[in-house]
């Protein structure tokens, strides 16, 4: 920080140790990092002392529990390696989302976090995400505009610059690039706000 300050819950981040600062963040990437350990431990990586009940709750929110329970060893199933189960990109994203949910971060960074999910799965997760994101700061990078429709503020970046900024309704009413992208994305003609 060269000028001004960045605060987190009223504390200047320059006065926070790095470990403390990192505890406030959760991240869900397009290509999540998983470890060659059990599914439960992959989720638990956000909070190594979390009891299995909290791990299961996070898995439910991320819409991955049904898949986990379909496996012979359930939450004890090992991921990857020579003997572990191979997961689809969508399943990896759901595990990563469950990890973020378990960590309960103040700030969540999501980079194309639902890009490998089919539309039906994305809708189911979106409902849970809307509840989970309430009351926390979130930065969501998304090409699927349905992912960000309920955001308080949407920033459309074009060629490295902020082109438009506002809520979904404000940007639709403005009739600019976001409006055009949303209509194209949703496969509809003219879109109006109720």
Between the alpha carbon of residue 147 and those of residues 77, 86, 152, the distances in Å are: 30, 27, 12
What angle, 0 to 180 degrees and rounded to 10, lies between the N-to-C axes of helices 52-61 and 89-103? 120
* Close Cβ partners of 114 (under 8 Å, ≥ 6 residues apart): 93, 121, 122, 125, 126, 142, 144, 147
Which pLDDT belongs to residue 3? 80
Which parts of the chain sit beneath pLDDT 70?
Answer: 1, 83, 187-194
- pLDDT single digits (tens) 75-121: 999 998 776 788 888 888 889 999 999 999 989 888 887 777 777 77
Residue 49's beta-bridge partner residues? Answer: none
CA angle 93/96/98 to nearest 5° reads: 110
CA angle 23/26/27 to nearest 5° reads: 140
User: Domains of the chain by range and CATH?
Assistant: 26-143 (3.40.50.300), 152-194 (no CATH)
Which pLDDT belongs to residue 128? 72
Which pLDDT belongs to residue 187? 64
DSSP class per residue in the chain: --SS--EETTEEGGGS-HHHHHHTEEEE-SS----SSBHHHHHHTT-TT--HHHHHHHHHHTT-HHHHHHSTTGGGPBBSTTTSBP--HHHHHHHHHHHHHHH--SEEEEESTTTTS-HHHHHHHHHHHHHHHTTSEEEEE-SSGGGTTT-S-EEEEETTEEEEEE-HHHHHHHTSHHHHHHHHHHT-S-----
């Amino acid at each position: 920080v060269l000028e001004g300050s960045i605060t987190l819950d009223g504390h200047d981040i320059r006065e926070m140790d790095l470990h403390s600062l990192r505890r406030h963040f959760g991240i869900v990437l397009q290509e999540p990092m998983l470890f060659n350990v059990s599914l439960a431990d992959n989720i638990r990586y956000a909070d190594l002392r979390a009891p299995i009940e909290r791990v299961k709750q996070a898995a439910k929110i991320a819409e991955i529990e049904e898949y986990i329970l379909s496996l012979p060893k359930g939450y004890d199933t090992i991921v990857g390696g020579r003997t572990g189960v191979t997961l689809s990109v969508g399943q990896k994203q759901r595990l990563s989302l469950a990890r973020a949910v378990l960590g309960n971060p103040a700030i969540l960074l999501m980079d194309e976090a639902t890009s490998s999910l089919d539309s039906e799965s994305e809708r189911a997760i979106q409902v849970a995400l809307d509840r989970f994101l309430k009351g926390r700061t979130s930065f969501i990078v998304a090409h699927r505009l349905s992912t960000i429709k309920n955001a308080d503020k949407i920033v459309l970046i074009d060629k490295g610059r902020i082109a438009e900024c506002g809520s979904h309704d404000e940007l639709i009413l403005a009739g600019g690039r976001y409006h055009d992208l949303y209509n194209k994305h949703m496969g509809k003609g003219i879109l109006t706000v109720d």
